[in-house]
Chain A
Amino acid sequence: MDLVNPWGARDDEALLDDLLAVTRHHLDGCAAYRAMWPGWEGAETIAELPWVHVGAFKHLDLRTSADGLEHGRTLLSSATGGTSSRIALDARSSALQAASTTSVLASLVGDRQRPLLVLDHPSALRGRAGVAARIAAAMALKPLSSDLRFLLAEPDRPQSVKAVGEDDDLLLYGFTWMLWQAAEHLDFGGARVQVVHSGGWKKLEALAVTREELDAKVLATAGPGSAVWDCYGLVEQVGMLFPLCEAGHRHLPRWGAVLVRDPWTLEPLEPGSLGMLQLLNPLAWGAPYHSVLTEDLGRVHPGACPCGRDGVAFDLAGRVPKAEVRGCANV
């Protein structure tokens, strides 16, 4: 699979063929997935492909069985709703996913190797039962790094940032919320820094912190040529990153697809309409997370993006508003 030049010309026909192949693979090898889509026989458009609701991964341990496919570790989402999504990883998919993220990240930060600073603690690597999404996202930058350094002296305490060192060209990854908390303690000493963050804006929106404020605070001590890259991604689409461009839109690597569905009817909507984002990619072979209906609201951006990147762009518009389900037993 060709996973270079993420913003190059798209071949949607070839992508549909790839997605059909991976869909049939999962229908053959995952009984639970087959039970979700019992009557499905084929698709002529991406909108006709089956999907799995993102919430299902919190309730089901979905795995696909096939010759030569062996599952390894399980990727866990951060349990903001109380329960984590569980994504069964396998070697083939992990290799494809790593190539995908490296390709996207290299297009943003450049492909020369330099020290990678991770806004986390080494203990984050030691999870045995699963791999936390947070550390998995950081490790996506490892192929672009010359060495790896964890910046936190204490786990889960962004304020415990250690000195960044003397290098004048750096990569840094952090969860968005942790980056905000650590920003005032970071001293880059004028070094050129490419900062990549992900994890969502919910907490910062609650504090009315804007993107401009975060970027300015993070880069306050950084030198010319530094940049902050806001990457949207989710555990259930591991390997896919959707960076925010200079024009304020999210970009889709050419080996991915996106569409928007009406939350009530689940019918696909036209570009420009607001609905639940469905994200697709042909990288996931160990479990049917190749086509996921998310609870992120958004719109597919019609037409070309002013940033000049080819391909599909979309905009995020928050999450499906959650109403807490309570009952007699909740005091």
Chain B
Amino acid sequence: MARARVPAAFSRSDWAYLLEAVRALPQRPAGRTPRDPVVLWLPGNVALLGAHAVTLAAWTGARVVAKLPTDAPADLTEAWVGWLHEHGTLADRVKLTRCGHDAAAALSATAGARIVFGSDEAVAAIRALPHRPGASWAGFGARRSEAWIDREAAHDPEAVRALVKAFAVFGRAGCTSPARAVLVDGTPAEADALRDRLVAAWPSVVLEPVEMHRASQNAMAEQVAAARGFAPLRTAGGSAVVASGPASAGDLPGPTTLPVVAATLREAAETAPANLQTVGHATADPAAWATTVGTTAACRFVSLADMHVFGPVWDSQDWWADLWR
């Protein structure tokens, strides 16, 4: 694919991600035909995921119909598909739609493969729609992720920045975004110190000012966190709240509130949510944690930098391989 300057709709990192996704397209299996058409129900505002999924689906050679959420604003998937159309690559077979329920049911009935990103309820509802016998299915429901960081990494400026970066992309909105940071084998005082380093690092990682609504919500989140026994700090300009507290404490509100807890590896696993998807790690020896991570629901154990990297295997489902007969 020809090098191109970054189109206006994308940030440099978004563009880099999508170009890398194209470079890393999997090899097409010999002697097999793609299921056709592939119908995708794309997620709310995690747009890179949608763009990547559409690319992988179209790479099979099948026709692709991607349903965007009806009330979501225009997102990167549309811009990406538009760019692909313009450059004559893949997208001649890709159609984007914001159809209603009846039309979506008709799409389901004709799909050779159905792939859904949504709430558990939405995934179940779409699964129950009429469909062709033999059509493949992949459903990705509500999941949460965490960042686990060891005491050495907590003092490593690059690891701290990586954690800020992993969290700042989607805040608490993305399934791959760390909803909690665990300082493995740390003390409460060390969790407080990690919180301080995260807050200090934030302005150097997140350069754009936050929207007014988010700043306001973070003011609220800081107060609720304090009321619930956390020790919160709001970043400069109100972009985020980082709150140190006990591992056993409940969840916190706010779109960019990151709880930081000190816990043993076992406590981290025991207090992890039942719908844990990804553990992003910052440790010199991830293998030492792998067994414990395996006792949780997590199906991804990757570095902090790779938390948001989507791929042909997702949530333990080999969904791209299932696009082939």
Which residues of A are at the interface with B, using a C-beta cutoff of 8 A? 32-33, 35-36, 38, 52-56, 59-60, 62, 263-266, 276, 293, 295, 320-323, 325-331
Contacts and interface: CB of A to CB of B under 8 A. Distances in A.
Given A264-B210, A328-B49, A295 B173 contact: no
B174 A328 contact: yes
A325 B238 CA distance: 16
Interface in B185-237: 209-217, 219-220, 223-224, 226-229, 237
Interface residues of B, number: 47
A328 B223 contact: no
Contact of A328 (B140, B219, B237): B140
Given A330-B72, A331-B69, 16 more contacts: A32-B226, A59-B224, A264-B209, A293-B219, A295-B216, A321-B212, A323-B211, A323-B214, A326-B45, A326-B72, A328-B44, A328-B118, A328-B174, A329-B120, A331-B41, A331-B42
Contacts of B118: 328-331
Contacts of A62: 227
Contact of B215 (A54, A56, A263): A263
B46 interface: yes
Contacts of B213: 295, 320-323
Nearest to A325: B255
Contacts of A36: 223, 226-227
Nearest to B126: A331
B280 interface: no
Given A265-B238, A331-B44, A326 B216 contact: no
Nearest to B239: A264
B175 A53 contact: no
A326 B49 CA distance: 14
Q: What 3 pairs across the A-B complex have the smallest Cβ distances?
A: A326-B44, A331-B118, A330-B44
14 contacts: A53-B219, A56-B223, A263-B216, A276-B216, A321-B213, A323-B213, A323-B214, A326-B173, A327-B173, A328-B117, A328-B143, A328-B175, A331-B69, A331-B117
B31 to A, nearest CB: 34
B175 A329 contact: yes
A326 B170 CA distance: 10
A80 to B, nearest CB: 14
A316 to B, nearest CB: 16
Contacts, number: 118
Main secondary structure of the interface of B (DSSP, over half): loop
Contacts of B229: 35
Contacts of B43: 327-331
Most buried by B among A295, A328, A331: A328
B116 interface: yes
A321 B227 CA distance: 26
B253 A327 contact: no
A266 B72 CA distance: 30
A330 B143 contact: no
A326 B47 CA distance: 11
A35 B173 CA distance: 27
A234 to B, nearest CB: 15
B143 A320 contact: no
A59 B44 contact: no
Contacts of B140: 328
Contact of B253 (A54, A59, A323): A59
B119 A263 contact: no
A59 B253 CA distance: 8
Given A36-B227, A325-B173, A327-B175, A56 B119 contact: no
Interface in B70-100: 72
B105 interface: no
Contact of A60 (B170, B172, B224, B237): B224
B299 interface: no
A326 B214 CA distance: 13
Contact of A264 (B170, B226, B237): B237
A239 B214 CA distance: 29
B141 interface: yes
Contacts of B72: 326, 330
Interface in B102-151: 116-120, 122, 140-143
Nearest to A326: B44
A177 B253 CA distance: 30
Interface string B42-72: 1111100100000000000000000001001
A264 B223 contact: no
B275 to A, nearest CB: 10
Contacts of B238: 263-266
Contacts of B255: 325
Most buried by B among A32, A56, A264, A295: A264
A283 B186 CA distance: 46
Nearest to B214: A323
Given A36-B226, A59-B224, A327 B174 contact: yes
Contacts of B215: 263-264
A200 to B, nearest CB: 17
Contacts of B217: 55
A265 B236 CA distance: 7
A264 B212 CA distance: 7
A58 to B, nearest CB: 8
A62 to B, nearest CB: 8
B270 to A, nearest CB: 24
A61 to B, nearest CB: 10
A331 B173 CA distance: 13
